[in-house]
Amino acid sequence: MASPQTLVLCLLVLAVTEGWGQEAAIPGCHLHPFNVTVRSDRQGTCQGSHVAQACVGHCESSAFPSRYSVLVASGYRHNITSVSQCCTISGLKKVKVQLHCVGSQREELEIFTARACQCDMCRLSRY
């Protein structure tokens, strides 16, 4: 019969390996690669693909009863105050994408990709 320590270790290994590949289960805000296709025009005269980075994940948010001064100032309509943070890009970098054109021509295009992510105040203009 296995010892209690061995059983706990096996369960821990199962819990960790079960979550592999499930990006959303990773706590925090982090870079996530995705494949992007770039075209020179709608017909796809020149096109290429590149792995870019996005920021995904979870950030802390909370809600609590508003202070009395907030209640009075809002005419008693703002009874809950919320503080939210969103996973956002904190640094960008340019990457070059090689575009393959009709025939044997090639073009190069620069695009931006996320370099770093952080939890920051949510702003409507970002989303």
pLDDT digits (tens, 9 = 90+) for 58-105: 998 899 999 999 999 999 999 999 888 999 999 999 999 999 998 888
What does the alpha-carbon distance between residue 90 and residue 113 come to, in Å, rounded to a whole number? Answer: 11
pLDDT at 41 (0 to 100):
83
pTM to 2 decimal places: 0.62
Q: What is the CATH number of domain 23-59+85-126?
A: 2.10.90
At 77 the three-state DSSP class reads coil
Give the start-to-end residue ranges of the domains of the chain: 23-59+85-126
- Both tokens of 107, joined, read 């073009």
- For residue 4, which amino acid is it? P
At 52 the three-state DSSP class reads strand
To the nearest whole number, what is the mean pLDDT of the chain? 79
What does the alpha-carbon distance between residue 91 and residue 48 come to, in Å, rounded to a whole number? Answer: 24
pLDDT at 45 (0 to 100):
86
pLDDT at 25 (0 to 100):
56
- Say if residue 40's pLDDT is above 90: no
The pLDDT of 1-6, averaged and rounded, is 36
- Say if residue 14's pLDDT is above 70: no
